């Protein structure tokens, strides 16, 4: 047996794993000894990796759609079909009518290739990925306030903090090794405060749980600022030296009395005062937030409100102190860094800048697109309007993970052509005209960038199953077929070196340099050859930190007579994303076998609902059935569902109302009605439901 060092393929913590290889298969996983992030541990998803990539369920050959369904085809035929479809769409609709959705689970090298394919081959800035529905408000908001949208601290800073403030993040479920580190910090004496409408595991263990009403983040954060200014608790030295707009913000929040804030958020005045005091008096506060901040139509303003609070308390740029968007997917930081966003090239170089366009035109040998690109949901909308024709989805499962599932399916069906590059036959792949088999992380070399900006190497441990190729090989072959030869690389390292040469924040990185450490944090350039675990110690990328007044915005849909409950969505520890990988593991399935709805005991009693009973949920967009789990994890009046289960897909219900700045849909709040199924009647799947009711 060999053990090949790699990085976990699931969440953004970026744990170091060893792939145990025997007889050409990954037979198990072990923690990488001495890894600075995972410190000899893994969570249950990490341990279960071998099931997630098991060859039994994998796609092994390209598939092409015929009238009768998908049939196996050669690479030659499949690539010709894809190239032809893109050529036709370009001829008919121009570069605005084609695009690529890249994959935050694939490597930096794959993602670099995806945006290069969009820009150099399709001539389009239409490239995006799941960061749009994850931390796009962080990128937009923190770029406005600081000039850079990533975590300002490293994970190890948790060990230095005396206050850990988690806002809308369920770290023990979703960033398990960070959750464990937070509990260790608490055990050594740090205070833990959790701001969440649900009683998460960490909220129950916290020194303070601030249980605000769903969607009242800005009201809360502004209210804390008012208390801090009114008591003179702001960090004046930090504000004088490093920030701008202080008086504007002070005036903006002056009238937001604790009583008013308490009425808007449901949090008692004493609790507000306690948190305002703790945060402004902490020696070093590690402030981390997640989807409870970003997934709202006010997502960008929510992020700005977090940034305002951190800056006013001077809690950034020191060991232990920082503003930390907990990036979700194993390589979502990297997919953003690589420029898989419509408005930036690798390293956040603006796609609108003439200079940047000229630089990449020169490097890649073809003119660069001038027109601004579409976001992922923009492409969906354009497809429905008949203006968008051909799309490549490389490793995403939007049918389950985008809001308003019926709308997504209609949009994908409205395309002239859809190609999906995947490991397995996902719900999205089932709609494709061509499906291409991709190599998993264990079958290729490359790099992942974890949530703390640490770029780490993964290594090929086994061969891809059947005829599967890496994403970058697929994109390179397709490019060549479309007449562009600038994407034929010998190996992943050649792509990395090309990227580093064009990306100032990674300019001093190379595979040997990454190997010499446990990866390197960007910016890693001539001035910081060892990388930068801590950002903004002296100044911000934009110079002064900008305080921006923002005001509370209610969710687009609030409960009313017809849809009397708030509905929110969450994650569970044992499953991941659309479940296409974790649901292959018998261990993980045993822990959380099926979809479920969390409901408070009081609401259940009012509905005469028993634990485990079936329920039917309805929103303005669709309906589904699932089983109820009665728990005071959720507050009365708010129902919550995880989004991992294709048989109970909560995104049938969710609202696609968007944040005007980042285009983030409001995945964390909409209004629903609930009705118990008769006792003993099992919930029906969406397919059964649509057959029986014609609904959806």
Ligand X SMILES: Nc1nc2c(c(=O)[nH]1)N[C@H]1C(S)=C(S)[C@@H](COP(=O)(O)OP(=O)(O)OC[C@H]3O[C@@H](n4cnc5c(=O)[nH]c(N)nc54)[C@H](O)[C@@H]3O)O[C@H]1N2
245 or 424, CB closer to ligand X?
Answer: 424
Is 401 one of the binding residues for ligand X (CB under 6 A)?
Answer: yes
Beta sheet of 446-449, edge-to-edge order? 446-449, 454-458, 520-521
Is 116 one of the binding residues for ligand X (CB under 6 A)?
Answer: no
Position among 97, 134, 306, 502 found at the interface with Mo ion (CB under 5 A)? 134
Is 53 one of the binding residues for ligand X (CB under 6 A)?
Answer: no
Site string for ligand SF4, 3-22 (x = CB under 6 A): -----x-xx-xxx-------
Which of Mo ion, ligand SF4, ligand X, none interacts with 15 (beta carbon under 5 to 8 A by kind)?
A: ligand SF4
Q: Which of residues 595-654 bind ligand X (CB under 6 A)?
A: 643, 650-651, 654
Is 533 one of the binding residues for Mo ion (CB under 5 A)?
Answer: no
Retrieve residue 157's tokens: 């800073």
Rg for the chain (alpha carbons), in Å? 24
Using Cβ positions, the residue closest to Mo ion within the complex turns out to be 328
Classify strands 446-449 and 417-422 as parallel, antiparallel or unpaired: unpaired
Query: Which of these segments, 194-202, 248-256, 609-617, 688-696, binds ligand X (CB under 6 A)?
Result: 194-202
What proportions of the chain, in percent to the nearest 5, are helix, strand and coil? 40, 20, 45
Q: In terms of Cα–Cα distance, which of 101, 129, 104, 133 is closest to 117?
A: 101
Retrieve residue 694's tokens: 């014609």
160 or 633, CB closer to ligand X?
Answer: 633
Position among 79, 166, 169, 176 found at the interface with ligand SF4 (CB under 6 A)? 176
Position among 113, 133, 239, 492 found at the interface with ligand X (CB under 6 A)? 133
Is 341 one of the binding residues for ligand X (CB under 6 A)?
Answer: no
Tell me if 670 sits within 8 A of 403, measured CB to CB: no
Q: Which of residues 84-113 bind ligand X (CB under 6 A)?
A: 103-106
Query: What size, in residues, is the chain?
Result: 696
Query: Which of these segments, 37-45, 85-93, 580-588, 645-653, binds ligand SF4 (CB under 6 A)?
Result: 37-45
Find the helix or strand (DSSP H, E) in which 110 lies.
helix 108-116
What's the closest the beta carbon of residue 246 comes to ligand X, in angstroms?
A: 25
- Chain centroid to Cα 691, Å, comes to 33
102, 124, 127, 434 from 80: Cα distances, Å = 21, 20, 22, 11
What's the closest the beta carbon of residue 130 comes to Mo ion, in angstroms?
A: 6
Site string for ligand X, 238-277 (x = CB under 6 A): ----------------------------------------
133, 158, 639 from 670: Cα distances, Å = 16, 34, 10
Beta strands in 305-375 (DSSP E): 322-325, 344-345, 349-350
Nearest-10 crossing angle of helices 471-481, 75-93: 60
Cα dihedral across residues 570, 167, 449, 49: positive or negative: negative
Is 134 one of the binding residues for ligand SF4 (CB under 6 A)?
Answer: no
Q: In terms of Cα–Cα distance, which of 519, 534, 544 is closest to 320?
A: 534
Query: Which of these segments, 126-134, 224-232, 276-284, 507-515, binds Mo ion (CB under 5 A)?
Result: 126-134
Position among 42, 83, 167, 344 found at the interface with ligand X (CB under 6 A)? 167
38 or 658, CB closer to ligand SF4?
Answer: 38
Is 115 one of the binding residues for ligand X (CB under 6 A)?
Answer: no
Residue indicated by tokens 């409901």: 599
50, 61, 129, 457 from 107: Cα distances, Å = 18, 21, 13, 9
Q: In terms of Cα–Cα distance, which of 415, 420, 427, 430 is closest to 384?
A: 415
Written as one string, the DSSP assignment of 43-64 is -HHHHTHHHHT-GGG---S-EE
Is 104 one of the binding residues for ligand SF4 (CB under 6 A)?
Answer: no
- Chain centroid to Cα 581, Å, comes to 16
Is 569 one of the binding residues for ligand X (CB under 6 A)?
Answer: yes
Is 393 one of the binding residues for ligand X (CB under 6 A)?
Answer: no
Is 298 one of the binding residues for ligand X (CB under 6 A)?
Answer: no
User: Distance between CA atoms of 37 and 180, rounded to whole angstroms?
Assistant: 11
What's the closest the beta carbon of residue 10 comes to ligand SF4, in angstroms?
A: 4
Q: How far apart are the first and last CA of the chain?
A: 50
Which of ligand SF4, ligand X, Mo ion, none interacts with 668 (beta carbon under 5 to 8 A by kind)?
A: ligand X
Q: Which of residues 407-446 bind ligand SF4 (CB under 6 A)?
A: none
Nearest-10 crossing angle of helices 299-312, 217-230: 20
Q: What single-letter DSSP state applies at residue 556?
A: S
Using Cβ positions, the residue closest to ligand SF4 within the complex turns out to be 46
Position among 5, 18, 46, 328 found at the interface with ligand SF4 (CB under 6 A)? 46
Cα dihedral across residues 247, 252, 258, 261: positive or negative: negative
Which of Mo ion, ligand X, ligand SF4, none interacts with 404 (beta carbon under 5 to 8 A by kind)?
A: none
Is 328 one of the binding residues for Mo ion (CB under 5 A)?
Answer: yes
Q: Which residues bind Mo ion (CB under 5 A)?
A: 134, 328
Q: Which residues bind ligand X (CB under 6 A)?
A: 11, 103-106, 130, 133-134, 167-170, 173-174, 195-198, 200, 212, 214-215, 217, 290-292, 295, 326, 328-329, 394-398, 401, 421-424, 426, 438, 440-441, 471, 568-571, 573, 575-578, 580-581, 643, 650-651, 654, 667-668
Q: Which residues bind ligand SF4 (CB under 6 A)?
A: 8, 10-11, 13-15, 38, 42-43, 45-46, 176-177
């Amino acid at each position: 047996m060999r053990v090949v060092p790699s990085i976990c393929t699931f969440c953004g913590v970026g744990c170091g794993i060893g792939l145990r290889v025997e007889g050409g298969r990954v037979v198990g996983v072990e923690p990488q000894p001495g890894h600075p992030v995972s410190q000899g541990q893994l969570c249950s998803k990490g341990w279960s990796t071998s099931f997630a990539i098991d060859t039994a369920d994998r796609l092994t050959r390209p598939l092409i759609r015929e009238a009768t369904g998908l049939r196996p085809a050669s690479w030659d035929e499949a690539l010709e079909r894809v190239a032809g479809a893109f050529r036709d769409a370009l001829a008919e609709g121009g570069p605005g009518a084609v695009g690529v959705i890249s994959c935050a689970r694939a490597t930096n090298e794959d993602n670099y290739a995806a945006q290069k394919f969009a820009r150099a081959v399709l001539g389009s800035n239409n490239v995006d990925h799941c960061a749009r529905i994850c931390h796009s408000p962080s990128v937009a908001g923190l770029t406005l306030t600081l000039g850079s949208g990533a975590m300002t601290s490293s994970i190890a800073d948790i060990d230095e903090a005396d206050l850990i403030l988690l806002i809308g993040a369920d770290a023990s479920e979703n960033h398990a090794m960070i959750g464990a580190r937070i509990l260790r910090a608490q055990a050594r004496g740090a205070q833990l405060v959790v701001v969440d409408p649900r009683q998460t595991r960490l909220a129950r263990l916290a020194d303070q749980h601030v249980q605000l009403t769903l969607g009242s983040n800005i009201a809360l954060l502004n209210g804390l600022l008012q208390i801090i200014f009114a008591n003179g608790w702001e960090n004046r030295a930090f504000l004088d030296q490093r920030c701008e707009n202080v008086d504007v913000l002070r005036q903006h929040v002056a009238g937001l009395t604790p009583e008013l804030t308490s009425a808007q958020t449901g949090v008692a005045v004493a609790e507000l005062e306690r948190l305002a005091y703790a945060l402004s008096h902490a020696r070093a506060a590690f402030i981390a937030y997640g989807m409870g901040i970003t997934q709202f139509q006010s997502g960008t303003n929510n992020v700005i409100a977090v940034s305002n609070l951190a800056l006013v308390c001077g809690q950034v740029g020191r060991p232990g102190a920082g503003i930390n968007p907990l990036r979700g997917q194993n390589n979502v930081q990297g997919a953003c860094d690589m420029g898989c966003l419509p408005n930036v090239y690798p390293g956040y170089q603006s796609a609108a800048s003439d200079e940047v366009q000229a630089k990449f035109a020169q490097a890649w040998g073809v003119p660069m697109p001038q027109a601004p690109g579409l976001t992922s949901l923009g492409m969906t909308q354009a497809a429905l309007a008949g203006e968008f024709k051909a799309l490549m989805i490389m490793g995403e499962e939007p049918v389950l993970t985008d809001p308003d599932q019926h709308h997504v399916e209609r949009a994908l069906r409205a395309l002239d052509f859809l190609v999906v590059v995947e490991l397995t036959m996902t719900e999205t792949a089932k709609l494709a005209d061509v499906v291409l088999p991709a190599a998993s992380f264990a079958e290729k070399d490359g790099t992942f960038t974890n949530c703390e900006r640490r770029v780490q190497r993964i290594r090929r441990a086994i061969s891809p199953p059947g005829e599967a190729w890496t994403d970058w090989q697929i994109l390179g072959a397709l490019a060549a077929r479309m007449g562009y030869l600038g994407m034929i690389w010998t190996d992943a390292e050649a792509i990395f070196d090309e990227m580093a040469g064009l990306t100032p924040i990674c300019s001093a990185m190379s595979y040997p340099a990454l190997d010499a450490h446990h990866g390197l944090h960007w910016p890693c350039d001539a001035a910081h050859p060892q990388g930068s675990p801590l950002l903004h110690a002296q100044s911000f990328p934009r110079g002064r930190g900008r305080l921006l007044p923002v005001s509370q915005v209610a969710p687009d849909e609030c409960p009313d007579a017809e849809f009397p409950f708030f509905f929110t969505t969450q994650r569970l520890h044992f499953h991941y994303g659309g479940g296409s990988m974790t649901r292959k593991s018998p261990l993980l399935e045993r822990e959380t076998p099926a979809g479920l709805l969390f409901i408070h005991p009081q609401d259940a009693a009012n509905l005469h609902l028993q634990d485990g009973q079936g329920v039917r949920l309805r929103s303005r967009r669709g309906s589904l059935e699932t089983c109820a789990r009665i728990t005071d994890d959720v507050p009365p009046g708010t129902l919550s569902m995880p989004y991992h289960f294709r048989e109970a897909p909560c995104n049938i219900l969710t609202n696609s109302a968007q944040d005007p700045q980042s285009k983030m849909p409001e995945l964390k709040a909409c209004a629903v009605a609930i009705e118990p199924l008769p006792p003993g009647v099992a919930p029906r799947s969406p397919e059964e439901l649509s057959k029986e009711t014609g609904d959806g």
